[in-house]
Amino acid sequence: MKFSLFTALALVGSANAHFRLLFPEPRGQFVADNEPQYCGGYTQVTQNRTTFPLSGGFFTIKSGHPDFTAGVIISTLQNPISFDNFTVNGKQQIASAYAKNANAGTFCLPLDLAASGVAGVKDGANVTIQIVYAGGDGNLYQCADLTLSSNFTIPNNVTCHNETAEAHHGGSETSSGASPSPTNGALSPAHAIAGYSAVLLGFVGVAALLV
Position 203 scores a pLDDT of 45
Best CA proximity match to 136, nearest among 34, 37, 9: 9
Say if residue 35's pLDDT is above 70: yes
Question: Residue 165 — pLDDT band, cuts 50, 70, 90?
Answer: confident
Q: Give the tens place of pLDDT for each residue, 118-163.
A: 999 999 999 999 999 998 878 999 999 999 999 999 999 998 988 9
Helices (H), 88-156: none
Determine the structural domain holding residue 71 and report its residue range: 7-205
The tens digit of pLDDT for each residue in 2-33 reads 444 333 333 333 345 589 999 999 999 999 99
Q: What is the pLDDT of residue 161?
A: 80
pLDDT over 90 (residue 89): yes
Paired with 60 in beta bridges are 23, 108
Say what the pLDDT of residue 159 is. 85
121 CB neighbour count, 10 Å cutoff = 18
pLDDT at 16: 52
Each residue of 134-160: b (16+ CB within 10 Å) or e?
Answer: bbbbebbbbbbbbebeeebebeeebbb
Q: How far apart are CA 194 and CA 179, in angstroms?
A: 15
| Residue 79 forms part of a structural domain | yes
**Under a CB-based contact definition with an 8 Å cutoff, are residues 58 and 160 in contact?**
yes
**Residue 134 main-chain phi, psi, to 5 deg:** -130, 120
Domain-embedded: residue 211: no
Q: Is pLDDT of 78 > 70?
A: yes
Residue 1 placed within a domain: no
In a domain, 49, yes or no: yes
Residue 69: inside a domain: yes
CA distances from 6 to 49, 63, 140, 186 (A): 33, 20, 15, 36
Nearest to 61 by CA among 96, 15, 9: 96
Total domain count for the chain? 1
Output the domain CATH number for residue 139. Answer: 2.60.40.10
pLDDT at 98 over 60: yes
Q: Is residue 138 part of a domain?
A: yes
